[in-house]
Amino acid sequence: MKTSTQSQIVEKHQSILQTKKDLAIFFDALIKPPRPSTNLKKAVARYNESIKEK
Give the integer Cα–Cα distance in Å for 25 and 28.
5
* Count of C-beta atoms within a 10 Å radius of residue 33: 8
Compute φ and ψ for 2, nearest 5 degrees: -75, 145
pLDDT at 39: 97
pLDDT at 13: 74
pLDDT in tens, 6-36: 888 877 777 776 778 888 888 899 999 999 9
* More confidently predicted of 40 and 20: 40
Question: Residue 22 contacts by C-beta under 8 Å, 6 or more apart in sequence?
Answer: 16
Average pLDDT estimate for 44-51: 95
pLDDT at 47: 96
Q: Which ranges of the chain does DSSP label H, i.e. alpha helix?
A: 4-16, 20-31, 38-52
Residue 1 has pLDDT above 60, yes or no: no
